[in-house]
């Protein structure tokens, strides 16, 4: 089991770093970049073997089109620098994943605009490419966006991981992306893209096991499966990431989260971390159990 990191934005907020909508975790890059390094270090010290660059919110949806055009590349460079500084200070062999975020906001497949995707994705990709160990497309709601961005990646030999967000309805007949696409459609993309890992993130932990069980028989055995859930209440179809700050569930403490992770491992997952509201204490619990 490889241990990933947890949710940066909520951890920044918990530490008192500048944090609000709509800028989300990008606000710390703008106003207090050192805090980003400190949170990365907290996760590394808790046991994370992979950290993800904090450029998830460096998109017009969060920082506005004008700031993205004038300052986006610099902010992504700040995110890279803080991740690298954290790894260096830790003295540990920690890999850095380059974040490929949803370009038009989390959860809403219907907001994807193919004609604008290239102009948003290219500065992100070109800035991250020389600096990161591998690619992580995360919180992806629809295959169209994933396919569009994947086609823009350089042929640099770096591994490509992709993580999808699932509909939060717990007792569905099958696991579905927020777009309504199913695991067979996801598996077809995994094979076609030569992805090295498929993960599920930024959805309730309760819905992930079903997705793992469905996808594992549809993809090559060499493809790793992973999960990093959030601690939000269920998100309905009309929710967007700028609607306000969700409450964090009180019932999802570190031991409870480990309980879900054990189920994921038994079903075939070999990568585990956390998303929004999953902090260093959760990662420490995972690391202690899976690494000892």
Query: Going by DSSP bridges, is the β-strand pair 50-52/2-3 parallel, antiparallel, or unpaired?
Result: unpaired
DSSP lists the bridge partners of residue 200 as 164, 227
Taking the C-alpha atoms of residue 33 and residue 16, their distance in angstroms, rounded to an integer, is 13
Contact between 217 and 189 (Cβ < 8 Å): no
7: which 2 tokens?
A: 């949710």
Q: Is 202 annotated as a binding residue?
A: yes
- Bridge partners (DSSP) of residue 52 are 97
275 is in an annotated binding site: yes
Q: Which two tokens stand for residue 169?
A: 């309805």
Annotated binding-site positions for Zn(2+): 202, 275-276
Annotated binding-site positions: 202, 275-276
């Amino acid at each position: 089991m490889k241990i990933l990191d947890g949710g940066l934005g909520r951890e920044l907020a918990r530490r008192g770093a500048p944090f609000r909508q709509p800028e989300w975790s990008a606000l710390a890059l703008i106003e207090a970049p050192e805090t980003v390094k400190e949170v990365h270090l907290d996760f590394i010290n808790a046991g994370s073997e992979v950290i993800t660059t904090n450029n998830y919110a460096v998109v017009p949806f969060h920082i506005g089109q004008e700031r993205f055009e004038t300052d986006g590349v610099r902010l992504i460079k700040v995110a890279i620098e803080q991740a690298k500084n954290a790894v260096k200070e830790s003295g540990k062999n920690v890999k850095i994943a380059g974040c490929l975020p949803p370009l038009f906001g989390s959860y809403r497949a219907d907001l994807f605009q193919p004609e604008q995707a290239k102009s948003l994705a290219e500065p992100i990709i070109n800035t991250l490419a020389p600096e990161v160990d591998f690619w992580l497309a995360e919180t992806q709601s629809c295959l169209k966006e994933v396919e569009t961005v994947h086609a823009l990646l350089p042929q640099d030999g770096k591994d490509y991981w992709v993580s999808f967000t699932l509909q939060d309805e717990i007792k569905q007949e099958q696991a579905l992306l927020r777009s309504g696409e199913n695991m067979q459609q996801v598996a077809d993309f995994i094979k076609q893209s030569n992805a090295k890992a498929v993960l599920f993130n930024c959805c309730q932990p309760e819905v992930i096991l079903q997705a793992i069980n469905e996808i594992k028989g549809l993809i090559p055995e060499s493809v790793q499966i992973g999960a990093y859930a959030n601690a939000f209440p269920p998100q309905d179809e009309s929710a967007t990431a700028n609607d306000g700050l969700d409450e964090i569930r009180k019932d999802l403490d570190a031991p409870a989260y480990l309980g879900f992770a054990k189920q994921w491992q038994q079903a075939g997952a070999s990568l585990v971390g956390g998303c929004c509201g999953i902090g260093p204490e959760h990662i420490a619990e995972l690391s202690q159990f899976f690494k000892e």
